[in-house]
Amino acid sequence: MTSTQPIPHPVSDWESDFDILSPDYVTDPGPFWDTIRQGCPIAHTDRYGSTWLPTRYQDLHALAQDTTRFSSRDVAVITPFRDVDDKASLLGFSAPPITSDPPIHTWARRMLLPRFGPTPIAEMTPITHGLANKLIDGFIDRGTADAAVDYAQHIPVRVIATMLGVPLADEAVFTSWAVRILQGGFQNIAVATDAVMELVQYFTVKLTEREAMAADQRPDDLLTFIIEARHEGEPLAYEHRIGTCFLLLVAGIDTTWSAIGSSLWHLAAHPEDQARLRAEPDLMPTAVEEFLRFYSPVTMARYVTEDTEFNGCPMREGDKILMAFPAGNRDPEMFENADEFRLDRTRNRHFAFGSGIHRCLGSNLARMEVQVAIEEFLRRVPTFELADPDGVTWSGGQVRGPRTVPIRWAR
Ligand code: HEM
């Protein structure tokens, strides 16, 4: 097995040689999307294998609906081992439903839906308030904190660990898997593969233990649900069980951490929006949608299954398409003054959670987490500001969000 290392040469032309790992793009991709949208509007690069970058809302929408030509069999935005045909088989499992196409996708998703509907989310809401408050207790007397490191990153992992039924004491391990799989793997396949293997071993043990319990002794959590789930009367295959645990753990961690972190970064950097949200708490649900639109964290990929053409672009079998939902969310044809953040934007049909059959299964959960995290922060922490604007760092690639947000407030 060989790995394709990112090529660190500077971008010569964003329409034909874009680089989503370029530091300027990671820090502020908006201007690059504008350039591409006004030019091609679907950019191409050969940096990490032949890859396309659509930037218009309508193109992304159309691509997401065509699951025959544009498959989810490889959703990694940069597959470090593009010379290996099938990433899923390399890792020994897939992560249904996100890495599957119909017909498997249809039942794999339908099975999980009730576990992420209104009732389970309502049950998790007070727990999330408690988790947020406990974190704030840890730094409120200091007058300074890192809104990403001390706060945002901990909430989603603790929420999903609670839902899965795995110990919160293992939080650091779960976070490390998410970071190594979704970020480290771009540079070094061994980093991601090791993390996947650790995760597989961990959940193999957890699922085996749970299965060995008497049915009436099993707690009501996602691990039990996965053990007891049936498809056409049969228990799920081992690979399906592990892949689903993998997805549910990894999909909800640095996505939601990024959304909470960017929201707090925005409020620290824009005192007028912070003051308004404090004064008008009823704006919160509308503001959450604008945080999600403006700072959409997630870009997934599609795998082109046949030589084809899409809006004038000659695509070859095996090409990747970056589903840059965040770029679509800045399309001026869809959003008025798209590059402007408006706390009270009401016409906001964003697709931070994707579009089509793979639309985020955890969107209700994520919305609740983001809202609770901001509400508790504003309730407990007095007016805050960036302590070191140059010290803010962002992650890029599959999931974009701030990783360090040093802030301070008057005690
Ligand atoms: C703000 C936080 C989040 C964002 C922005 C986000 C975004 C997305 C996006 C864009 C997709 C579509 C993927 C594609 O088209 O290939 C997706 C799918 C998915 N998300 Fe999320 N997500 C978030 C939080 C969560 C959480 C908390 C969970 C809970 C476990 C979750 C579980 C999933 C699952 C299972 C899928 C696959 C759905 C399918 O393939 O049918 N996500 N998410």
DSSP secondary structure of 349-365: ---TT-SGGG--TTHHH
* pLDDT computed for residue 186 by the predictor: 67
Ligand 1 in contact with 253 (CB < 6 A)? Answer: no
Of 177, 360, 369, 374, the residue with max ligand 1 atoms within 8 A of its CB, to mutate for a pocket test, comes to 360
Judged against a pLDDT cut of 80, whether residue 185 lies above it is answered with no
For ligand 1, mutation pick of 65, 250, 353 (most atoms within 8 Å of CB): 353
Q: Region 135-146: what's the mean pLDDT?
A: 97
Q: What is the DSSP string of 97-135?
A: TTT--TTHHHHHHHHHGGGGSHHHHHHHHHHHHHHHHHH
SS3 16: coil
pLDDT the model gives residue 154: 97
Residue 94 confidence class, pLDDT cut points 50, 70, 90: confident
pLDDT classification of 88: cutoffs 50, 70, 90? very low
Mean pLDDT of 216-237: 96
217: which DSSP letter? Answer: G
**Residues 271-310: tens digit of each pLDDT:** 999 999 999 999 999 999 999 999 999 999 999 999 999 9
**Which DSSP symbol is given to 301?**
E
Residue 90: is its pLDDT beyond 70? no
The protein residue whose alpha carbon is closest to atom 7 in ligand 1 is 353
Is the CB–ligand 1 distance for residue 365 below 6 Å? yes
CA of 110 to the centre of ligand 1 (A): 14
pLDDT digits 0-9 by tens, 363-384: 999 999 999 999 999 999 999 9
Alpha-carbon gap, residue 362 to 116, rounded angstroms = 6
Say yes or no: CB of residue 72 within 6 Å of ligand 1.
Answer: yes
**Structural domains in the chain, sorted by start:** 38-409 (1.10.630.10)
Q: Which atom of ligand 1 is nearest to the CA of 370?
A: 1
For the segment 87-114, the average pLDDT, to the nearest whole number, is 81
For residue 231, the surrounding DSSP H or E stretch is strand 230-231
Q: What is the mean pLDDT of residues 97-123?
A: 95
> Is the pLDDT at 4 greater than 80, yes or no?
no
pLDDT reported for residue 8: 62
Backbone angles phi and psi of 121, in degrees to 5: -70, -40
| Interstrand relation of 406-409 and 384-386 (parallel, antiparallel or unpaired) | antiparallel
Classify strands 320-323 and 51-54 as parallel, antiparallel or unpaired.
parallel
The residue count for the chain:
411
Integer Cα distance of 100 and 67 in angstroms:
10
Question: Which has the closest alpha carbon to 131: 390, 395, 386, 375?
Answer: 375
